[in-house]
Structures are given as C-alpha cells and as structure tokens.
Amino acid sequence: MVKTFNREARLHGHRVRYGSAGERGPLVVLIHGIASTSETWGPVLPLLGERHTVIAPDLLGHGQSGGGDGDYSLGAYATGVRDLLVALGRDRATLVGHSLGGGVAMQFAYQFPEMLERLVLVSSGGLGRELNVLLRSAALPGAEYVLPLLFAAGLPSAGTKIARLVDRVGFRAGSDLEEIGRGFASLGDTEARRAFIHTVRGLIDPSGQRVDARSRLYLAADVPMLIVWGARDTMIPVEHAHAAHRRVARSRLEVFEQAGHFPHLSEPHRFAEVLSSFIAETEPARMDPERLRKLLVHGSAPGQPQARRRRQQSGTARKR
C-alpha cells in the first residue's frame, strides 16, 4: 500500500491543507462534506494512490485550512479547489465529491468545465429537496448561538453528546454515527463553526435543501459520471441517486446496499475498486467551447423532448 502525506499550500495568503497519495496515473481530487475534513478519505486514499495521483483538500474553513475572506458559497469552494490545482501545476482532474463535496464538484463542473475529466457524486447534496432533520435544524434562527453553548467549558464531551443526538435522528451505529459525531464535535473550533453556519444558511432552510443542481445536469451530458450511494443513507435519501441517474445519459450508478451516508468508509476497498474501474473504463471529457455554448443557449430542461430522450437512454443501475 502506498504512503499518504499531509501537505500544505499557501493561497491568497491563507493555508490550505491537503492529503496526498500516489504519483502516477490520472489526478483524482477527493472533496469532503460539511463539518468534515480530508481525513474522511483516509481509508481510501492509499488504495486509490496505488493507481492514481490523489489529493484530498480541507475545504475553506474546514480542518486545517484557513477561512479566506469568509465566503462559504459553493462558488467559493469550487474556486478554492481550482486555485489549489493551479498552484500544484495541474490543469485537469477527476473530481469526487461527498455530500456537500458533491455540490462543490458540480459547481466546479459549471464554472471550470475545461478542467473536469470525470465527475463522481457520493451521497451528494444538491439533487433534491429532502434532507435529514439534523442539518435542517442547523438552518433555524439562533443556531449560531446554540452551538457555542454545546461546546462551552464544563459540559460533558461534545462528541458524546452529538453521537447520542445523531443516533436519535436515525443514523445507524458504525461509520455513519462515528463520522457524523466527529464532524459535529469539530464545531468546537470557532472558525469551523462559522464556516458550518454560513454554509448551511447558504444551501439549506428548515424545510430542506434549497440549492438544486438538477436543472443543470444536462451540462454534464458529455462528462463521464459515476453516482455512488448507500441504500441506507438517512442523511440524503438514495432516491436522489436514482433520479439523477435517470436524468444523465450514460451515467453509472453503484448502490452499496449495506452502507449509509458514508459508503467510502463502510466499504473502502469496494469503493476504491468501483472508482478505479470507472476511471479505467472511461475517456476523460474534453469540453469543446462551441459545444458548451450550444448547451447553454439551446440546452434542454426537465420535461423537454431532448431531456426525455436522455432519460430513456439512461443505463441500468448496478446493485450489489
């Protein structure tokens, strides 16, 4: 198994921390979810590094990366990923986004299509309204005042409290419960809590996700796309995966029947194999500017004939 490394870059005067593995093969960028860090990819990073060059950054305001100018929009996160690639001398990559990271990866595809070779969405946000009450409650007024109290000195372990809470709202024991508890416990850090609140408020309201990427999925029609989801995901329902798969012709869908919101943690070896096979079996996209212009001007939306044809041509999901 290859070694993994923790590295740093300086962008716009701020620190950006990223994990890396491998020095050969196509570049793969792993983008974590909200209240998480690059460490969520720890089990799969060395596995993927055997055949690829892999980097996994801490997003702005997460982990050991600075918060920049305080802009925690999807556009800012996507630009941060672009800036890191440019700083490392890389101009193209396969992007793999988990949860919030899936939304960031899709935003990257819209903003920088010339830099995207493949798109991989893992339990991704931005594909439907439904969302677990845990994140919806974080969008309620006053959440920014409640979170500091949870982590105030003298209270019992915040991680233990959070783990008990997520257990009550439907998460199964195991990788989901552990990772969600770890992520929310990280909000004891002021900058991480600030990034979390601003990100949530920009993407979620008390009734669910309010940023919807589905109407633009046709722009990725020429990009190889893999969708990976856990059938037992209680954060974002697996129905979102099936709906996105139907919308994008030639997309691939892999449903991990025993996994929840973190299929890459539940079954890291299988996840790495699925991703590596997908990369090996697909040609990287090459976005033609004229083709992009025509898509933007004449592109179809849900309900139009062209969109219906793509849905009818959609491949078959594979369940294991």
pLDDT at 37: 95
Check whether domain 4-131+210-319 has CATH 3.30.70.100, yes or no: no
**Model pLDDT, residue 5:** 95
| Phi, then psi, of 30 in degrees rounded to 5 | -105, 125
Q: What is the pLDDT along the chain (320 residues), one digit of tens a residue?
A: 799 999 999 999 899 999 999 998 999 999 999 999 999 999 999 999 999 999 999 999 999 999 867 899 999 999 999 999 999 999 999 999 999 999 999 999 999 999 999 999 999 999 999 999 888 888 888 777 666 655 554 444 444 555 555 555 454 546 787 888 788 778 878 888 889 999 999 999 999 999 999 888 888 878 999 999 999 999 999 999 999 999 998 899 999 999 999 999 999 999 999 999 999 999 999 888 888 788 888 765 443 434 444 444 444 445 44
Question: Which segments within 93-144 are labelled E, that is strand?
Answer: 93-98, 116-122
Please tell me the predicted confidence (pLDDT) of residue 314.
40
- CA-nearest of 245, 283, 249, 276 to 117 is 283
pLDDT at position 294 is 82
Return the pLDDT at 261. Answer: 96
Catalytic machinery residues: 99, 233, 261
Mean of per-residue pLDDT scores for the chain: 85
Residue identified by tokens 């849900």 is: 302
Domain chopping of the chain, boundaries? 4-131+210-319, 133-205
Q: How far is CA 223 from CA 93, 154, 299, in A?
A: 12, 51, 15
Report how far apart the first and last C-alpha atoms of the chain are (Å, whole number). 26
Residue 93 half-sphere exposure toward CB, CA atoms < 13 A = 27
Q: What is the pTM of this model?
A: 0.87
Q: What pLDDT, on a 0 to 100 scale, did the predictor assign at position 293?
A: 82
